[in-house]
């Protein structure tokens, strides 16, 4: 029997497996995906949010605990456990050396996202390089890994882990870490959670999943059904507006549409529905998925003109291009009269100002609802471009309630040998909202804690015979 069984194969699972192994435990990891798709959403990540009191290797200036905490408080609207959140924040300042020891490499932010060089450490080569490094280190240390082994249920005895089942296979262990991600690729669950809207639509049917198809939430559901304490709301998820042509799964970062703040966004009725210039795109990025999800048909179009070209991250698919706005409306299949009404009203409402897309400038609309409060330039320079947007789910927030030892709780009682890490418990810290890089901060902190706790639980059991 192994000491520690780790279920999942992404960042949180790998951190747990490495820590448990370093603590002397024998470790077996069960990953649902085949080798080439291993790692869940983690191969898609780019960076890690890190607290630091002074400039530190790839991080510039300072990002003190209090500022990180305030940022988290703001995005979550208070839906966070301060004790666990502060634990994550502090751990984020010290984990990088351990990560480096296991082969993870960081790089200075070179382009496109310079403002994040203060708060976030970027992985050289992104998350896939990180996942590869951890797997190599795990192999060197003698962690056993089984791919294509989706666990479907767990045997529990009075709040204690006994064994995990994957089809006909049964895996016993002295302790277990659950790190099997969220449930964003469980289409039925998303459909059930989002329900049916007043228009009779099932909004979730039009969602695209930005990450892994293997995060089906099987274990999350199973544990909640088995009496584990849950936290969070199944409709809460990190959702961004992405190119409607993105693949159903694993579209990752490149399908983002970055030009929203430079133009206008209209829905299927050719109406604007939100202030596109509210704030810088990264800050507003995560609200547009939900905004689009609330529109008819869960679709919208970002419209820009030639002046915007070269001022935003290049899109992965070419936009629909036209030499006039009416022609663009026709090409996009939008009602020409309504579209022109919206665009003419917008263009007429733009007040002269000094345009600068690198600061919150003074180009705003007057007398328009909804207003566009920054970067409001008339769309008047052909060619015009349109990009269709759909909601892209990054990950879900519903998870298992836990404490500072990462224990799974049953009716408020912590289990002695069942632990949880990563997206399966991120909701404790991140009840809603999102701030870039905090998913990895949570997964790394709690993955490491869960691994240590599981090793300790397993050793204790061995010692007691």
Ligand X SMILES: Cc1cc2nc3c(=O)[nH]c(=O)nc-3n(C[C@H](O)[C@H](O)[C@H](O)COP(=O)(O)OP(=O)(O)OC[C@H]3O[C@@H](n4cnc5c(N)ncnc54)[C@H](O)[C@@H]3O)c2cc1C
Q: Which of 55, 77, 78, 125 binds another protein (CB under 8 A)?
A: 125
Cα angle, residue 16 at apex, residues 10 and 18 outer, rounded to 5°: 100
CB of 358 to ligand X, least distance (A): 22
3-state DSSP helix/strand/coil percent for the chain, to nearest 5?
35, 20, 40
Residue nearer to ligand X on the CB measure, 23 or 208: 208
Return the residue of 89, 220, 262, 291 that touches another protein, per CB under 8 A: 262
**Binding flag, residue 349, another protein (CB under 8 A):** no
Complex with ligand X: residue 8 or 263, whichever CB lies closer: 8
With CB cut-offs between 5 and 8 Å by kind, which of another protein, ligand X, none does residue 347 bind?
A: none
Which of another protein, ligand X, none does 274 bind, CB closer than 5 to 8 A by kind?
A: none
Stretch that binds another protein, among 63-71, 124-132, 329-337, 433-441 (CB under 8 A): 124-132
Q: How far is the CB of 259 from ligand X (least distance, A)?
A: 19
CB of 140 to another protein, least distance (A): 10
Within 10 angstroms of residue 298's Cβ, the number of other Cβ atoms is 25
Of the residues 163, 166, 230, 309, which one makes contact with another protein according to CB under 8 A: 309
Q: Please name the helix (run of DSSP H) or strand (run of DSSP E) that holds residue 47, with its range, or none.
A: strand 47-49
Minimum distance between the CB of residue 312 and ligand X, rounded to whole angstroms? 18
Task: Print the binding letters for residues 130-169 with another protein: x by CB under 8 A, - otherwise.
Answer: --x---x---------------------------------
Q: Please, what is the minimum distance in Å from the beta carbon of residue 140 to ligand X? A: 20
The SS3 call for residue 23 is coil
Pairwise CA distance, residues 18 & 135, whole Å: 9
Buried b (16+ CB within 10 A) or exposed e, 270-288: bbbebbbbbebbeebbbbb
Between the alpha carbon of residue 67 and those of residues 64, 76, 92, 109, 118, the distances in Å are 5, 14, 13, 21, 12
Cβ-count burial 426-454 (b if 16+ within 10 Å, e if not): bbbbbbbbbbbbbbbbbbbbbbbbbbbbb
Residue 366, Cβ density class (10 Å: 0-12 exposed, 13-18 middle, ≥19 buried)? exposed
Select from another protein, ligand X, none the partner in contact with residue 22, using the beta carbon and a kind-dependent cut-off of 5 to 8 Å.
none
Sign of CA dihedral 138, 144, 149, 151: negative
Burial class of 353 by CB neighbour count within 10 A (0 to 12, 13 to 18, 19+): middle
- 115 in contact with another protein (CB under 8 A): yes
Q: Given the rule CB under 6 A, which residues bind ligand X?
A: 7-13, 30-33, 39-42, 44-48, 150-151, 179-181, 210-212, 214-216, 218-219, 252-253, 394-395, 422-423, 437-440, 443
Q: Which does 414 bind (CB under 5 to 8 A by kind): another protein, ligand X, none?
A: none
- State residue 350 phi and psi, 5-degree precision: -70, 125
Tokens of 300: 């919208």
Of 37, 171, 395, 446, which one interacts with another protein (CB under 8 A)?
37
Residue 257, token pair as written in the block: 């549409």
Give the whole-angstrom CA distance, residue 202 versus residue 190. 10
* Contact partner at residue 122 from ligand X, another protein, none, CB < 5 to 8 Å by partner kind: another protein
The one of another protein, ligand X, none whose footprint includes residue 12, by CB under 5 to 8 A per kind, is ligand X
Residue ranges in contact with another protein by CB under 8 A: 36-37, 43-44, 46, 105, 107-108, 110-112, 115, 122-129, 132, 136, 247, 250, 252-256, 258, 261-262, 280-282, 309-316, 357-358
């Amino acid at each position: 029997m192994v000491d520690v069984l780790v279920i999942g194969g992404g960042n949180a699972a790998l951190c747990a497996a490495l820590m448990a192994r370093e603590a002397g435990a024998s470790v077996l990891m069960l990953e649902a995906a085949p080798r080439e798709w291993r790692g869940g959403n983690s191969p898609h990540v780019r960076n890690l949010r890190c607290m630091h009191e002074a400039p530190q290797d790839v991080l510039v200036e300072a990002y003190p605990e209090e500022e990180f905490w305030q940022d988290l408080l703001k995005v979550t609207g208070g839906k966070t456990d301060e004790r666990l959140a502060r634990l994550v924040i502090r751990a984020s300042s010290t984990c990088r050396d351990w990560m480096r020891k296991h082969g993870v490499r960081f790089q200075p932010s070179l382009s496109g996202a310079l403002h994040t060089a203060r708060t976030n450490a970027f992985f050289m080569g992104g998350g896939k390089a990180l996942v590869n490094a951890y797997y190599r280190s795990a192999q060197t240390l003698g962690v056993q890994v089984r791919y294509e082994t989706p666990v479907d249920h767990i045997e529990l005895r009075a709040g204690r882990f006994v064994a995990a089942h994957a089809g006909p296979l049964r895996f016993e262990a002295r302790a277990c870490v659950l790190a099997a991600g969220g449930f964003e690729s469980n289409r039925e669950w998303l459909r059930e959670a989002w329900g049916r809207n007043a228009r009779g639509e099932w909004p979730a049917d039009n969602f695209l999943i930005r990450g892994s198809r293997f995060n089906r939430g099987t274990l999350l559901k199973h544990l909640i059904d088995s009496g584990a304490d849950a936290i969070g709301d199944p409709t809460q998820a990190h959702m961004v507006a992405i190119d409607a042509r993105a693949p159903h799964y694993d579209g990752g970062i490149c399908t983002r549409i970055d030009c929203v703040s430079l133009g206008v966004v209209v829905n299927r009725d050719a109406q604007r529905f939100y202030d596109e210039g509210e704030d810088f795109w990264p800050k507003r990025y995560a609200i547009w998925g939900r905004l689009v999800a609330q529109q008819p048909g869960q679709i919208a179009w970002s419209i820009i003109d030639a002046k915007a070209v070269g001022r935003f991250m290049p899109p992965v698919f070419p936009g629909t291009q036209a030499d006039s706005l009416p022609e663009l409306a026709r090409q996009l299949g939008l009602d020409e009269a309504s579209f022109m009404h919206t665009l003419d009203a917008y263009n007429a409402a733009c007040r002269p100002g000094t345009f600068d897309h690198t600061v919150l400038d003074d180009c705003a609309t007057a007398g328009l609802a909804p207003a566009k409060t920054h970067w409001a330039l008339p769309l008047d320079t052909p060619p015009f471009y349109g990009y269709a947007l759909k909601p892209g789910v990054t990950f879900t927030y519903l998870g298992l309630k836990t404490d500072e030892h990462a224990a799974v709780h049953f009716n408020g009682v912590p289990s002695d040998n069942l632990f949880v890490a990563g997206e399966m418990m991120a909701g404790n810290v991140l009840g809603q909202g999102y701030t870039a890089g905090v998913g990895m901060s949570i997964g790394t902190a709690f993955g490491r804690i869960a691994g240590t706790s599981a090793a300790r639980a397993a050793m204790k059991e061995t010692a007691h015979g």
